[in-house]
Amino acid sequence: MAKKQGLLERLQNGFVLGDGGYLMELRLRGFLEKESMTPEVVAKHPEEVQRITQEFKDAGAEVLQTLTFFGTSNMLERAGFGERAEEINRTACRIARQIAGEEALVAGNLNSPSIYQDYDPSDSASQERTRAWLQEQLPWIVDEKVDFLILETFSWLDEALVALEVVRDVGLPIVATVSMEEKEGKTLDGFAADECARRMVEAGADVVGVNCLWGPDKMLDYAVAMRQAVEVPVCCQPSAWHSWWSPGDPVPPLRFAQFVKEAMREDIRFLGACCGAGPEHIEAMAQAMVS
């Protein structure tokens, strides 16, 4: 049997389609409480996590992310699952690996553990806190034989750089994405997309990009700025809807299909979606990529 192509090989040869937003979709299906941001659903309803993962794959996703989003022990502690953090992370990875089979890739997901704290780039204690939480989570994911790591939803570039320090020596390809929080298109610590891209590449990222908070229109602008700033592949994962803050109108699958074509013209190689994007969005994107 031929060896499965890795992420970087696939990106070198063309475009790669990722999956959508697990937590918001499970919330809409009634398996996650409103305002919940952590993956306790892996412990409560593993069969539903398996179901949605299979749906994303059937829709055309070539990459399945582990539902370890906000899966650090401090985040899960707020939901009463801190002591089960390792179990939840490992179970999420095994579900993704089982569904991926020999076709899809599994992306081990790590992200900002500071959403409920005030991260301060000038405070070394903030950095050490993030480093400790991610260092605890990382082996739970890497031990489960994921194909690469994706660091996402970092609203502070500085925290993304701390995360890159934690993971860069594990021997896996690394995708690093930031979330542009401010209306003027910057992270909370004041960095625009192009500078974020350059700094993350310098810190060891193999692929850089943007995810969450914004829909396809604004998100593509940020990805194009990154594409013009660096030589590595760029990832773009816009949101369709979310319930954690004022969401605006849901973005329909047709707009995500149009987004894919626009992004491919700009040579944005790794395409996917985030909060509110379900299997129907990924299916529309998959069809657009080959039409």
Domain span at residue 173 reads 7-290
Q: Is residue 88 part of a domain?
A: yes
Which residue from 289, 55, 4, 16 is spatially nearest to 175, judged by alpha carbons? Answer: 16
At 277, which CATH number? Answer: 3.20.20.330
- Taking only the tens of pLDDT, the chain with its 291 residues reads 567 899 999 999 999 999 999 998 998 899 988 777 899 999 999 999 999 999 999 999 999 999 999 999 999 998 899 999 999 999 999 999 999 999 999 999 999 998 766 789 999 999 999 999 999 999 999 999 999 999 999 999 999 999 999 999 999 999 999 999 866 789 999 999 999 999 999 999 999 999 998 999 999 999 999 999 999 999 999 999 876 655 568 899 999 999 999 999 999 999 999 999 999 999 999 999 998
Q: Is residue 2 part of a domain?
A: no
Q: Is residue 235 part of a domain?
A: yes
| Cα–Cα dist 143/152, whole Å | 20
| Cα–Cα dist 94/140, whole Å | 11
Order of strands across the sheet that contains 63-65: 16-17, 270-271, 234-237, 207-211, 174-178, 148-154, 105-111, 63-65
Three-state secondary structure along 36-104? CCCCCHHHHCHHHHHHHHHHHHHHCCCEEECCCCCCCHHHHHHCCCHHHHHHHHHHHHHHHHHHHCCCC
Contact 13, 59 (CB under 8 A): no
Domain count, the chain: 1
Q: Is residue 138 part of a domain?
A: yes
- The CA angle 270-208-202, to the nearest 5 degrees, is 150
